[in-house]
Structure 1
Amino acid sequence: MEEQEFVTYAVADQIATITLNRPEKRNALNAKVVTELKEAFAQAAQDTEAKVIVLAAAGDAFCAGADLAYLQELQQNTYEENLADSNHLKELFYQIYTHPKVVIASIQGHAIAGGSGLAAVCDFSFAAPHAKFGYTEVRIGFIPAIVMVFLLRKIGEGKSKSLLLSGELIDAQKAKDLGMVNEVVAPEELEERVKTFASKLARKNSGQSMAATKQMIAQVQAMSLEDGLNYAAEQNALARATEDCQKGIANFLNKQQ
């Protein structure tokens, strides 16, 4: 991947770290930031040295959502141009949600609007206590359209309505209580906690199994009960023939790692 302006990519100890690096704009999203994130996640998918991904951010904020100056520029666009831009963002969220590797958000500061959306599409989220979350789009006459699809899946309709319709900000503990965040961690311990958790996944779990499980979670929710069970049975049968499964069971029976 070529050197980027707003996103950095690094790999160490089987962990790929993708970092939003636009701190002067509170890591706000515009077309270029979204493009660079998509390129970084595409690289991580093909990176044989990376088994788990951490999404982090530089500066005080994790992500302030859409760049409002950029949104103002888009008001001059045609419907077709705005639809293309919306699809660009949609593709990023879908890419992360369906990514073959586990994605962990390290949220050191506020995650607002699209920033909360980024946290929601990650598989795990760890946040500092002072971090604020919220979908503030309704307060500026906008709508939380794309992020809504994933939030409903993550925490359900009732909890989602309270956030999406009120536009209120909540702290990290409240976000954890709602199911948006997995752990609240002291700021000085956040980076190490995320690294320890990511390393544990990389060391103990099959990358093949995590990828297949993520794919199933994304697919099965849209199926009927019967179709979902048929799909699950097929995936179960396929998994038994994989190299990871055969090696894993053999090693377990032989009391090996």
Structure 2
Amino acid sequence: MREFILFGIENRIATITLNRPEKRNALNPQLVAELQSAFKQAESDPAVKVVILKSSANTFSAGADLAYLQQLQSNTYQQNLDDSIRLKMLFSTIYNLDKPVIAQVEGNAIAGGCGLATVCDVIFASPEAIFGYTEVKIGFIPALVATFLLRRIGEGRTRELLLSGELITAETALKYGLINFIEEKNAIADAVKAYAETLVKNISSQSIKATKELLVKIQHLSVDDALNYAARANARARLNGDCKKGIDAFLNKKHPKW
């Protein structure tokens, strides 16, 4: 049984809700483990095509739990490494999930909480949302999120945000390319749901899985190697059932049922 998150599936959309409002959804080992379990459940369930990550509170996530931060002061190097690996595994799971992950950010997304949003595929935010990687302000480093933020917004903006630890508004986050959409607080849930439903209706699960894998792989390759990988991916895609189904529907002027 999960204590700090809610999990539900409706119309092929899994919703994972951070539900630790009394601690502003601050991250601790148990919440990280519950999130890992929920994302793995969503990934393995054939009834799920799209995943939404949201919060039940006015804060998306305030970062690390204060009691957890106090505990870190007495940890050994190995204990800290083991703990870091668990968070790394969660970020990696979300980033590499073979289904689209949409973050619905209302309120603050700070430090590790901002990292949670960063690794999602698409981010919706309310105008009041605040983003920031504040680790350097407490003598820590934003080590894990840096890997993903570089890929999302480029080195210049990543340096600006991670080295200063400053908070930014949703409007600035949109300008920097950190988030994708801003929706009013009273409309964001409907906007996220509509976007997810569009993906459910219009996209091939096989294509999404292959495309996400492609995007992860080619970033580490030279241009020539990336093109060679892409050519092989193209050839494989043409042989899968969804491609044949989609082309047949297109030629017969029908909409494929995904």
Task: Tell me the CA shift for residue 206 of structure 1.
Answer: 0.3
- Secondary structure of 2:196's match? helix
Q: Identify the residue that residue 226 of structure 1 maps to in structure 2.
A: 224
Q: Which of 68, 76, 82 is equivalent to 2:74?
A: 76
Q: Identify the residue that residue 134 of structure 1 maps to in structure 2.
A: 132
**Could you list the per-position Cα deviations for residues 140-177 of structure 1 after superposition, in whole angstroms to 9, with x for gaps in the alignment?**
11111101110011000100111101111111010000
Identity of aligned residues (%): 54
* Whole-angstrom CA distance in 1 between matches of 2:69 and 2:143: 14
* Whole-angstrom CA distance in 2 between matches of 1:16 and 1:50: 6
Task: Tell me the CA shift for residue 122 of structure 1.
Answer: 0.3
* Whole-angstrom CA distance in 1 between matches of 2:197 and 2:124: 15
**Could you list the per-position Cα deviations for residues 65-86 of structure 1 after superposition, in whole angstroms to 9, with x for gaps in the alignment?**
1113202102211101110000
Q: Which runs of 5+ in 1 are unaligned?
A: none
Using structure 2 for the length normalisation, give the TM-score.
Answer: 0.98
Q: Identify the residue that residue 209 of structure 2 maps to in structure 1.
A: 211
Q: Identify the residue that residue 21 of structure 1 maps to in structure 2.
A: 19
Task: Tell me the CA shift for residue 91 of structure 1.
Answer: 0.5
Task: Tell me the CA shift for residue 199 of structure 1.
Answer: 0.3
Q: Identify the residue that residue 48 of structure 1 maps to in structure 2.
A: 46
Task: Tell me the CA shift for residue 109 of structure 1.
Answer: 1.2
Amino acid at match of 2:104: S
Using structure 1 for the length normalisation, give the TM-score.
Answer: 0.98
Q: Identify the residue that residue 237 of structure 1 maps to in structure 2.
A: 235
Backbone CA RMSD of aligned residues: 0.7
Q: Identify the residue that residue 251 of structure 1 maps to in structure 2.
A: 249
- Secondary structure of 1:195's match? helix
Task: Tell me the CA shift for residue 58 of structure 1.
Answer: 1.1
Q: Which runs of 5+ in 2 are unaligned?
A: none
* Whole-angstrom CA distance in 2 between matches of 1:177 and 1:214: 24
* Whole-angstrom CA distance in 2 between matches of 1:82 and 1:71: 11
- Secondary structure of 1:53's match? strand
- Secondary structure of 2:187's match? helix
Q: Name segments (4+ residues, structure 1) moved above 6 Å.
A: none
**Could you list the per-position Cα deviations for residues 49-106 of structure 1 after superposition, in whole angstroms to 9, with x for gaps in the alignment?**
1100000111110011111320210221110111000000000001000000000000
- Secondary structure of 1:34's match? helix
